[in-house]
Amino acid sequence: MIAMLVLGVLLVLVIGYLVGIYNGLVRVRADVKLAWSNIDVLLVQRHDELPKLVETCKQYLQYEQQTLERVMQARSAVAAARTSGSITALGAAESGMRTGLAGLFAVAERYPDLKANQAFQHLQQRITGLEQAISDRREIYNEAVNINNVRIAAFPDALVATRYEFEPAHLLRFDTAQKTDVDMKAAFAG
């Protein structure tokens, strides 16, 4: 009788422990999704601001159409990468966006009237702020991914993760070319 009671208590404890592991894995998987969603929100905000910036610049940058087109192409590439959900494609698209914006802001330096325009100044500050926030959210996303991946690989969580098909998430990585500073000399040379 006592042996059955002890066995019952042990069974309840083991089941409780496994449920705790499962719930923890669900929580870290949800954290990864939340972190990605936070990046996505900022990408959408930036996506919405770029046409306003380009439209403001069009009045002043009559001879810089190629620069404006590069920014809009980069905007489209980021939108396509977001839609596809490909972390790799997003990294490449973000690099193009960064280069395009740097080129646009560099070209704007040559136009004092544009630099003095309040709408341009506001949009430049807004987009620069969004860029910084996106960078910060990337770090948070990668931290959430790391926690998720460690949990599903570590014993005993790996047993539950394998049984219930918890998948590792992918870090948001950038190749060497994407991590280097934008070449401002080349941006001004355009």
* Structure confidence at residue 7 (pLDDT): 93
* Structure confidence at residue 70 (pLDDT): 87
**Backbone CA torsion sign across 78, 80, 82, 84:** negative
Contacts of 85 (CB under 8 A, 6+ apart): none
Average pLDDT rounded to a whole number, residues 109-127 = 88
Q: What is the DSSP letter of 154?
A: S
- What is the average pLDDT score of the chain? 86
Q: Which residue blocks in 59-175 are alpha helix, DSSP H?
A: 65-84, 87-108, 112-116, 118-153, 157-163
- The fold for domain 25-189 equals de novo design (two linked rop proteins) (1.20.1440)
* Of 20-34, 35-49, 64-78, 147-161, the least confident: 64-78
Mapping DSSP onto H, E and C, the string for 172-187 reads CCCCHHHHCCCCHHHH
Tell me the two tokens of residue 48. Answer: 């919405």
Q: What is the pTM of this model?
A: 0.76
What's the pLDDT band for 1 if we cut at 50, 70, 90? confident
Structural domain boundaries in the chain? 25-189
For residues 22, 28, 32, 34, the Cα torsion angle rounded to the nearest 10 degrees is: 100
Average pLDDT rounded to a whole number, residues 147-173 = 93
C-alpha 152/C-alpha 159 separation (Å) is 8
